[in-house]
Structure 1
Amino acid sequence: MNRTSNMIRETKETRIEVFLDIDRKGEVKVSTPIPFFNHMLTTLLSYMNVTATIAATDKLPYDDHHVIEDVGITLGLAIKEALGDKRGIKRFSHQIIPMDDALILVAIDISGRGMAFVNLNLKRSNIGGMATENVSHFFQSFAYNSGITLHVNQLNGYNTHHIIEASFKALGLALYDATRIIDNEIRSTKGVI
């Protein structure tokens, strides 16, 4: 089974290119015009143990919103394509991880029903060129387009950088775990995901 995806999404606002191989740990290359978002995407993909490239061009650089949303959409679609019919995947995962003061719970279900529930108390409005309101927007765009139910909950913490980074780490770990092939079955009483 070849669980890879090459996805390009181009609009009048952005051009996003994503390559993803979810079964081969290798180089992760990320290039967007948003420094902190680059850091978070690199973190997410590294903890997923994948080979990946994300390249984003902002054609109308009003602010960070369009790039973050469109990367979330394109990465979500790439994961969905790479998983195919989802036969044999573990499907569910949850991770609780600390990062200094921050403690984050991420739970996912690769259900085919994309939705996100994000509960983070972010005190800074901007970090490294990224509006913190777009953290939850990224998670929502990603979840909806990947068909993954995603919960991100802050259990503790006060440092905005740590809270966000722990969230991306936990999501990467959960995605790695939930996408592992553990048998040859579709893990659903419906027979499809």
Structure 2
Amino acid sequence: MNAPDPVAGTPCEARVAEVTRHTAETQITAKVNLDGTGQANLHTGIGFFDHMLDQIARHGLIDLDIHAVGDLHIDGHHTVEDVGITLGQAVAKAVGDKKGIRRYGHAYVPLDEALSRVVIDFSGRSGLTMDVHFTSGCIGQFDTQLTFEFFQGFVNHAGVTLHIDNLRGVNAHHQCETIFKAFARALRAALERDPRMAGVIPSTKGSL
């Protein structure tokens, strides 16, 4: 299915993907449309985590459909980590060979007293550097340590380099929300089609 290119006026391939991941611990399906309008249909069994995934959709302008059934009777670890893995796989599949994308993206996002910065590179190399000191161990039923596990799963399977810094914050909910919003905005910027790079892989190596 082709969608009109709003800049060049020529057809461009729709960037959509669906990935299903089933293990003994979780059963997850993730669908993404990288050129969406921010629509989200989210069911992970962890309310606050759904709220954070909604930030990715809304502020990244990515249509996101994620259904997860996990071993929440143990804790949320496997569910959150495996959603990160599955989402990373779906994004990698949807973006394809990365021709014409801007590749890099960054964003600063505040929420009241909290401020976070996220920088992303669709480099083809997986790497996560995260400097976040949450002021609380839990936000509702969400273990704040799982924020790292989600992004680690994502970068390992999306093939991106990701730097996350919470520059300040007192309220853990605010800290986490600024991280996910900044990630969404950085992701949106990196995935945006660059009309000056149409059909070109943004690397001197010729591949990413």
TM-score where L is the length of structure 1: 0.97
CA RMSD of aligned residues (A): 1.0
Q: Following superposition, which runs of at least 4 residues in structure 1 exceed 6 angstroms of deviation?
A: none
CA distance in 1, matches of 2:87, 2:79: 12
Quote how far apart the aligned CAs of 1:66 are: 0.3
Deviates more, 1:5-14 or 1:122-131: 122-131
Q: Deviations over 1:90-139 (max 9, x none)?
A: 00011111111111110000001111111111021111211111111111
1:190 matches 2:202: no
Give, in angstroms, the shift of residue 144 of structure 1: 1.1
**Residues in 2 aligned to 1:152 and 1:17: alpha-carbon distance in whole angstroms:** 26
Q: 1:137 to 1:45 in 2, by over 3 A?
A: same
Paired residues of 1:114 and 1:146 also in contact (CA < 8 A): yes
Residue type matched to 2:172 in 1? T
Quickly say closer, same or farther: Cα 1:100–1:26, change in 2 above 3 A: closer
The offset of 1:2, in angstroms, is 1.8
Verify the 8 A CA contact 2:31 2:64 in the aligned structure 1. Answer: yes
Q: Which has the larger radius of gyration?
A: 2
On the 8 A contact 1:116/1:149 being kept in 2, the answer is: yes
**Which deviations, in whole Å up to 9, do the C-alpha atoms of 1:33-60 show, x marking residues without a partner?**
1111011011111111021200000146
Q: 1:80 aligns with which of 82, 87, 92?
A: 92
- Asked whether the equivalents of residues 15 and 59 of structure 1 are also in contact (C-alpha less than 8 Å), the reply is no
Contact 2:105 2:187 in 1 (8 A): yes
Q: Which runs of 5+ in 2 are unaligned?
A: 1-12
Secondary structure of the 1:90 match is coil
Percent identical among aligned pairs is 39
For this pair of structures, how many residues does the alignment match? 193
How far residue 27 of structure 1 moved from its aligned partner, in angstroms, is 2.2
Contact 1:13/1:60 (CA < 8 Å) preserved in 2?
no
Structure 2 SS opposite 1:124: coil
Match of 1:43 among 52, 55, 76: 55
1:86 alignment partner AA: K
The equivalent position to 2:28 in structure 1, one of 1, 16, 37, is 16
Q: Matches of 1:88 and 1:118 in 2, distance apart? A: 28
The answer to whether 1:159 aligns with 2:171 is yes
- Alpha-carbon distance in 2 for matches of 1:11, 1:69: 12
Counterpart mapping for 1:136-155 below 5 A: 136-155=148-167
Aligned partner of residue 121 in structure 1, secondary structure? coil
Cα contact 1:14–1:60 (8 A) shared by 2: no
Equivalent residue letter for 2:14: N
TM-score between both structures, scaled by the size of structure 2: 0.90
* Preserved contact between residue 58 and residue 67 of structure 1 (Cα < 8 Å): yes
Taking the aligned partners of 1:116 and 1:192, their CA distance within structure 2 comes to: 21
Alignment of 1:26-175 (within 5 A): 26-59=38-71, 61-175=73-187
Runs (5+) with no aligned partner, structure 1: none
